[in-house]
Amino acid sequence: MGQGGEPRRAQAYDGELGAAVARAQEGDEEAFAVAYRLVQPGLLGYVRGLVGEDAEDVASEAWLEIARDLGRFRGDGAGFRGWTATIARHRALDHLRRRRVRPQAATLEQDVLELPGPYSTHDQALESMTTERALGLVRRLPRDQAEAVLLRVVVGLDGPAAARVLGKRPGAVRTAAYRGLKRLARQLEEEARDGAGER
């Protein structure tokens, strides 16, 4: 963690992100692509923690809204991450409401149809399993703790920014994130003990 409890990775690129957003607001499409590349991994992880396998569709909806409303955004790189997380959260909650009303039929997975990429399938599978396992553990947390952990750790927002996204006080978000991380640690310890006992 960096100063003030903010992840170092977020601090490292906030200046570059702020500059890219400013250029994108002036119509620079390449700058928008830079902002997208900097924000999308954390945003997708956050949305995946909320909606699961539909995360890419929900994140795409969020990016459409982000692109449409970019001219109205005011702030720096850290503010942009918070703003995009707020939009993504609203799209995710809308998606969850729609899913409750109208259950989806099973469809053929697009992954089955894709050709192999230039990366090692083994490495991609391990990374995907690790990410999915972590997000699965986070999804088992109470909702307030899960969102606080995702916003603080995956998106990289500081306490006040995460609080604005969730509409809560910073202290409440810090407490929820702390409790969520403690619960995750206990879950991992229990899994390690259970795994050791099976040998």
| Ranges assigned E (strand) in the chain | none
pLDDT of residue 153: 84
Q: In whole angstroms, give the CA distance from residue 97 to residue 30.
A: 35
The pTM assigned to this predicted structure is 0.70
Stretch (H or E) spanning 146: helix 143-149
Q: Which of 123, 40, 133 is nearest to 80 (CA)?
A: 40
| CA end-to-end distance (rounded Å), the chain | 35
pLDDT of residue 191: 80
Could you list the pLDDT tens digit for every one of the 199 residues in the chain? Answer: 444 444 545 556 889 999 999 999 999 999 999 999 999 999 999 999 999 999 999 999 999 999 999 999 999 999 999 999 999 999 999 999 998 876 554 443 444 334 444 444 444 444 444 677 778 888 888 999 999 988 988 888 888 999 999 999 999 999 999 998 899 888 888 887 877 666 5
pLDDT of residue 193: 81
